[in-house]
């Protein structure tokens, strides 16, 4: 398992916010102890949830460190998000799904505190639907839950193998532009 959780916090360190960052680092370390995999930046606008790990991620490489991450970062850039507005997490290696009576995915989302949550595959969608009542939210249809925007995708990494599937994913991602972006 990769130890990217420490890097998640250190990228944002500044002297004026050291207590806040120390607390965040403790929270990310707590999640890592449960087996939560993380990459990207602390306090992101966009949190990607990955339920199905690829071969390199299963062997400890960072989440979204390959072609899928390159494609997602390029998509975010085209939509108007800045480079440091994303993070990724996976609970695929988590054995105990609760911490102090709270679902570990819910705790992970709350720790990152994103404005937008994107489930990248069917497993991630199922995990998210297991903790949030999203009603009849369909794949690719933007929704909301407790002030957060939500987008469910049914296999982003797999879609990269087909031009028509890539276009479908791009159409879905275009529905969740930054809130400050022009219509």
What confidence tens digit (pLDDT) does each residue in 61-101 have?
999 999 999 999 999 999 999 989 999 999 999 988 888 78
Nearest Cα neighbor of 115 from 50, 54, 180, 53 is 180
Fold of 4-176: Uracil-DNA Glycosylase, subunit E (3.40.470)
- Do strands 37-40 and 86-90 pair parallel, antiparallel, or not at all (unpaired)? antiparallel
**pLDDT tens, residue by residue, 96-136:** 888 878 899 999 999 999 999 999 999 999 999 999 999 89
Does the predicted model carry a pTM greater than 0.85? Answer: yes
**107/102 Cα distance (integer angstroms):** 7
**36/127 Cα distance (integer angstroms):** 13
- Domain locations along the chain: 4-176
């Amino acid at each position: 398992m990769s130890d990217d959780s420490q890097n998640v916090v250190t990228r944002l360190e500044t002297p004026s916010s050291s207590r806040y960052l120390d607390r965040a680092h403790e929270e990310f370390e707590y999640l890592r102890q449960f087996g939560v995999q993380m990459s990207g930046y602390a306090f992101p606008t966009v949190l990607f949830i990955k339920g199905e790990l690829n071969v390199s991620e299963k062997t400890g490489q960072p989440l979204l460190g390959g072609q899928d991450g390159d494609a997602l970062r390029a998509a975010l850039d085209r939509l108007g998000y800045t480079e440091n507005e994303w993070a990724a997490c996976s609970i695929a290696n988590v054995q105990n799904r609760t911490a102090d009576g709270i679902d570990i995915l819910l705790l992970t989302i709350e720790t990152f505190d994103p404005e937008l949550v994107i489930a990248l595959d069917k497993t991630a969608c199922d995990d998210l639907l297991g903790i949030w009542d999203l009603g009849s939210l369909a794949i690719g249809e933007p929704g909301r839950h407790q002030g957060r925007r939500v987008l469910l995708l049914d296999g982003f990494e797999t879609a990269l193998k087909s031009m028509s599937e890539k276009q479908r994913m791009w159409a879905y991602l275009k529905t969740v532009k930054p809130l400050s972006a022009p219509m």
